[in-house]
Amino acid sequence: MTAAEQNASSARTRPTLRVAIVTETYPPEINGVANTMLHLAEGLANRGHRIQLVRPKQTADQDKTKPAGMDLMLVPGLPIPGYRGLRFGLPVYWRMRRFWHRNRPDLIYIATQGPLGHAALSAARALNIPAITGFHTQFQQYSRHYGLGLLTRRIANSLRHFHNRSDTTLVPTAELKAELSADGFLNLHVFGRGVDVDQFSPAWRSAELRRAWGCGDDDLVVLYVGRIAAEKNLDLAREAFQAIQSNRPSARFVLVGDGPEAVHMQREFPEFIFVGAKVGAELSAHYASGDLFLFPSLTETFGNVVTEAMASGLPVIAFDYAAPHTHIRPGENGVTVPMEDRAAFVAASRETVTDLGRLREMGKAARKTAEDISWDRVLGGVEERLFEVIHQQRGTEARHASMATTAE
């Protein structure tokens, strides 16, 4: 039985939920949160649930039809400074409250902590609708990369206050759950991440694309996919690649993505290959046409690009946290190094490319690992959590009603 058939069979034995998903980013915007929200919304819809998707308007909306199985509520938004193409939603509290009063969902999932997310949580509390928040972005970590280091504690306190107002907060790893719990976050549960092993696969490897980069079959392509931004620690990626070149002078460094640092980096390192942001089949081909993936970031809540690279057959070098901690077995399907140990990251990069045969075996093992990371399994766990939160609230309401009757 296929996954779709299993979903259909399971849906017949479960009640259908009406779930509102509130997010300030969604495809075609390119980032990890948008990608995760697409899988959540479409995955729950495929399981038979009715989705209300609330997000800011996008330029592409003029040419798009409403997704099947979803009600779409578009709200006004404004550009995020320094993040071209991304917007935050305005806090349309009364509009959402009226909408949910007329079209009451069983539960509201709030993915982002911007003005729209805060307004949605307030509306959910006012209407007594169960609310789950997702911890998708380490805003308190980002602050130090934008000259706001003194605000790190204040930002963390604000995030804790926001998430603790919800019934449950979903986090991507057990590691982050423990960290946030120690910092006073309550009711935390793990919402892992899956990967599409058809979209990201070694089958997409392109000799033509590699030739365009100036590489033959035996040349080494080092890849980075993600935002070209300060918080991604790309200075370390540059240092690591230059160490790789000491062993492999013909190696090429290909950076896939866009961001506020892109122009500066292109000017400073013209020998690197900057290809801009890619989506769909082009992104699949770029991943699969590399040989090694560098992931120097220290600010991720998960790091979807890690599992996408692994599914594409690339070993990953990364710090030992988030997705790398969860899925990389050092020396077998990739390499992890201690947090913030720059020298270890550079050394691992240099040493990993000394034996290309071993590098390719690690890539095959990375692919095998990714094949066991199913979005269907992940979404099944999220679905169970939705039912639990709704059941808990209904039980609380029943107890309150009983106590009120007794008092009378």
Tens digits of residue pLDDT in 36-48: 999 999 999 999 9
Task: Give the pLDDT confidence score for residue 80 in this predicted structure.
Answer: 73
Question: What is the distance between the alpha carbons of residues 302 and 353, in angstroms, rounded to a whole number?
Answer: 26
Where are the extended beta strands (E) located within 232-358? 252-256, 273-276, 292-295, 316-319, 334-337
Q: How confident is the model at residue 408 (pLDDT cuts 50, 70, 90)?
A: low
Task: Give the pLDDT confidence score for residue 406 in this predicted structure.
Answer: 53
Question: What is the distance between the alpha carbons of residues 126 and 160, in angstroms, rounded to a whole number?
Answer: 20
Q: How confident is the model at residue 376 (pLDDT cuts 50, 70, 90)?
A: confident
Among 138-142, 151-155, 187-191, which is the least confidently predicted range?
138-142
- Counting residues of the chain whose pLDDT is more than 90, the rounded percentage is 70
Return the CATH number of the domain spanning residue range 3-194+374-407: 3.40.50.2000
Is the pLDDT assigned to residue 218 strictly greater than 70?
Answer: yes
Question: What is the distance between the alpha carbons of residues 56 and 58, in angstroms, rounded to a whole number?
Answer: 6
126's enclosing H/E stretch is: helix 115-127
What helix, strand, coil percent values describe the chain, rounded to 5?
Answer: 50, 15, 35
Who wins on pLDDT, 81 or 265? 265
Task: Give the pLDDT confidence score for residue 82 in this predicted structure.
Answer: 61
Exposed, middle or buried, 311 (CB in 10 Å: 0-12/13-18/19+)?
Answer: buried
Tens digits of residue pLDDT in 145-171: 444 444 556 777 889 999 999 999 999
Measure CA 399 to chain center: 38
Q: CATH number for 202-370: choose from 3.60.21.10, 3.40.50.2000, 3.60.40.10, 3.40.50.300.
A: 3.40.50.2000
Task: Give the pLDDT confidence score for residue 198 in this predicted structure.
Answer: 94
Tens digits of residue pLDDT in 283-299: 999 999 999 999 999 98
Tens digits of residue pLDDT in 91-131: 999 999 999 999 999 999 999 888 999 999 999 999 999 99
For the chain, give every domain's residue range: 3-194+374-407, 202-370
Report the pLDDT averaged over residues 195-221: 95
Q: Give the strand pairing for 77-80 and 83-89.
A: antiparallel
- Torsion over CA: 192, 197, 200, 202 (sign): positive
3-194+374-407 with 202-370: one CATH topology?
yes
Task: Give the pLDDT confidence score for residue 231 in this predicted structure.
Answer: 87
- Residue 6, token pair as written in the block: 């299993």
